[in-house]
Amino acid sequence: MWVLSFIPDSLLYFAVLSILFAGIALYAVSFFTKFIPPLIPYSSGTRILGTILTIVGVYFYGSYATEEEWRSKVSEAQAKVDAAEAESKKVNTVIQTKVVEKVKLVKDVQVVIQEKIVEKEKIIDAECKVAPEAIDLLNEAAKRPEVKK
């Protein structure tokens, strides 16, 4: 049925209704052919053909209605997906901004601690002992910086 997607909807709908109404018309004509002597031999064939076309037309009409219902569901789902993608882009921008701020905060803390280490370098290296200030600095470096919300 994917081939039907290439046919315009109005043309497809016209074809389905044409088959249905042609079948109904042939079935109705088959009753009148009994009264016209040259057409009497074609009466039963016309009735059979009219019945077949009517059944096929009703089947196609139902299939067309189902196809249109599925197309509308697909377009609704596509609209929801597009809305979700737009919302996702907004949220991603907010998240990216927060991540950049956190990275900047961590870098700032690292710079401050490195400056403190440079200042206290002579005290730390003086006796080759681990000074309490060095331990405090290392503990401060290991702490997770608090992010303001």
pLDDT in tens, 3-50: 767 888 889 899 999 999 999 999 999 988 888 888 888 888 999 999
- CA nearest neighbour of 30 among 11, 3, 54: 54
Separation between Cα atoms, residue 139 and residue 141, nearest integer Å = 5
Residue 101 lies in a domain: yes
3-class secondary structure, 23: helix
Place of tokens 């081939």: 3
pLDDT in tens, 59-84: 999 988 998 898 899 999 999 999 99
Residue 147 lies in a domain: no
**pLDDT for the residue 71:** 86
Residue 148 lies in a domain: no
> What's the domain count of the chain?
1
Give the domain range for residue 48. 2-142
